[in-house]
Structure 1
Amino acid sequence: MNDPDCLFCKIVGGDLPSTKVLETERVLAFRDINPHAPTHVLVIPKDHYANVAELTGADPGLAAEVLAAAAGVADAEGVADSGWRLLANSGPNAGQEVSHVHFHVFGGRPLGPMLSA
């Protein structure tokens, strides 16, 4: 399942470059091009799902694989013990900029409060 107009589908397909951190048969993790922390990696399912609800409704097993991959990224990046944040924006009010479900793995420094006032 792929969307030819989706930025992340183009990365999965090799049409756009990325710096891969982790890859499995169904999940890809790559560095964010505009990092907000020393570790800032995006973890996505290779198949296109628009948001968290769509992914979990269609394939809960894949959702679990994505979360396990995020934990693997934190370990590989050396932030598992010091602490890391997993963030998924789902929908326009949450600030989702690419309509392909993705999880941000942040770490490498104190991250502060989750939401600003």
Structure 2
Amino acid sequence: RRQLAVLTNGRARPAGGMAAQDVVVQVCGRRETVAVRVVSMRDLMAAVQRHFDVKPPLLFTAHGGRMLQDDDSLAEYVATGDPVVVKLTEGVMHDFSRRVDQLRHLQWGFLSDQLAMA
């Protein structure tokens, strides 16, 4: 069942009565805050997927490069307040590259249509 987000103080929070926790993540150099119900690998993976529109598998690391491989290490690191670095796997990067190519193709098609009308 899909949970709806509730907007609180300008931020989306998961519905269902449970308070969300903010987690700072960094994806491809971009830092954002995502809300999770529980600091767990599963919840953070889902939040990053929704927020950045990326597909798994994703790898979570500490800012220094140490892998965060389980819920306990993730929760301990999030408690420090440092951003969780999300590494995109090769498959995700390939999908991202394919999307960029599709957008370029659409841009050229749009430009071609505009020039044809002129």
Q: Same fold, TM exceeding 0.5? A: no
> Could you say which structure has the greater relative contact order, defined with CA pairs below 8 angstroms and 6 or more residues apart?
1
TM-score, structure 1 as length reference:
0.31
Q: Which has the higher helix share?
A: 2
TM-score, length-scaled by structure 2: 0.31
Structure with higher Rg: it is 2
